[in-house]
């Protein structure tokens, strides 16, 4: 044999990092041995690869295409004209863009805190295991089983002028003449309430998972030390719910900004009106692309929306420290 190169052993791992040998002609070369950490790294890459490939194909690639299209003027009939940053400069003088951005901000500032409070409140209400709480959990989650278009139609009937249940109830309280969807000052708030009613059961389940991960021994120790229920909530429940809170805040904010759970509601209930008071940025992008065939401008708006989402994500990372427990 011509084993002229000795084995190479690394500082990490118990076994050899590699074992390289040369053999005579016709003999099978020795296999390369991997450490445990290297095997784990390879297994991790293989597990992540399907999702990573899917993200690159269905999210990353469309984002790059949108960025490229935003530099062109596209007429919808195959015509492309390079305009550089003209679509981006157009935003600064577009009052409807600023209006949709303002409405998106208002909607986000209303929806995210309401979803956090209602989701956590319902989770605290039904966290004890019992038959009654099991039924209540199912009832709170039931709206998620219904199409969002159906939810929008039901709410539209409930708040329709003069005939809706909520309209009549308001009139009984001496608040007659209220138009929940016709008043620009109330339309966005009404849509937000409908979105909260639809989504709160989903976030309730997320908070329930977080509450069940908190060891019961903490509450027992606090009770022995004389802590009240309010003190246990503020000093045990909320701090240990930071990872869950981070997830809820981030997901609900992304859903609000992108209109993932509100586009259908707004399109059915108000169609962005009255006076564009419920026209989110995502609705304006849809209008520019599919009603006016301004695909280049719509792509520029979508690119700005992605940048806005990145800024919000970084903000919540700093706000909650990524959901970590450390307070240093």
Residues ≥6 apart with Cβ < 8 Å to 88 = 70, 300, 304
In contact, 96 and 284? CB cutoff 8 Å: yes
pLDDT at 16: 45
Residues ≥6 apart with Cβ < 8 Å to 172 = none
Q: What is the pLDDT of residues 105-123, one digit of tens each?
A: 999 999 999 999 999 999 9
Here the tokens at position 157 are 């009937």
pTM given for the model: 0.79
For the chain, give the longest Cα–Cα distance: 101
Here the tokens at position 21 are 């040998």
Here the tokens at position 58 are 């269905």
Q: Average the pLDDT over 81-106 and give the result.
A: 89
CA quadruple 218, 222, 223, 229: dihedral, nearest 10? -90
In contact, 15 and 38? CB cutoff 8 Å: no
How do 72-74 and 80-82 pair as beta strands? antiparallel
For the 88-323 domain, the top CATH level (class) is mainly alpha
pLDDT at 24: 53
Here the tokens at position 139 are 């009832």
H helix or E strand, kind and range, residue 178: none
Domain spans, the chain: 88-323
DSSP state of 325: -
pLDDT at 173: 81
pLDDT at 203: 93
pLDDT at 23: 52
């Amino acid at each position: 044999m011509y084993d002229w190169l000795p084995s190479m052993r690394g500082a990490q791992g118990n076994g050899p990092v590699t074992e390289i040998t040369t053999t005579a002609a016709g003999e099978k070369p020795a296999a390369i041995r991997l450490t445990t950490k290297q095997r784990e790294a390879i297994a991790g890459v293989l597990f992540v690869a399907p999702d990573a490939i899917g993200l690159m194909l269905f999210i990353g690639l469309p984002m790059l295409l949108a960025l490229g299209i935003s530099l062109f003027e596209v007429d919808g009939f195959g015509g492309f004209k390079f305009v550089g940053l003209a679509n981006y400069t157009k935003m600064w003088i577009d009052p409807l863009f600023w209006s949709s951005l303002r409405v998106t901000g208002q909607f986000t500032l209303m929806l995210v805190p309401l979803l956090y409070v209602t989701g956590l409140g319902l989770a605290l209400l039904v966290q004890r295991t019992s038959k009654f709480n099991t039924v209540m959990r199912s009832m709170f989650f039931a709206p998620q089983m219904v199409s969002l278009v159906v939810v929008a139609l039901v709410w539209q009937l409930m708040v329709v002028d003069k005939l809706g249940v909520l309209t009549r109830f308001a009139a009984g309280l001496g608040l007659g003449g209220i138009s929940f969807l016709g008043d620009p000052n109330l339309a966005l708030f009404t849509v937000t309430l409908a979105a909260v009613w639809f989504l709160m059961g989903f976030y309730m389940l997320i908070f329930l998972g977080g509450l069940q991960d908190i060891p019961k021994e903490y509450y027992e120790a606090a009770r022995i030390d004389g802590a009240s229920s309010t003190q246990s909530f503020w000093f045990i429940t909320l701090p240990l719910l930071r990872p869950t809170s981070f997830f809820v805040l981030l997901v609900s904010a992304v859903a609000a900004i992108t209109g993932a759970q509100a586009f259908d509601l707004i399109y059915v209930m108000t169609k962005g009106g009255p006076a564009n008071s419920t026209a989110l940025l995502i609705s304006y992008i849809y209008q520019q692309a599919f009603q006016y065939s301004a695909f280049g401008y719509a792509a520029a708006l979508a690119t700005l929306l992605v940048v806005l989402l990145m800024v919000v994500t970084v903000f919540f990372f700093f706000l909650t420290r990524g959901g970590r427990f450390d307070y240093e």
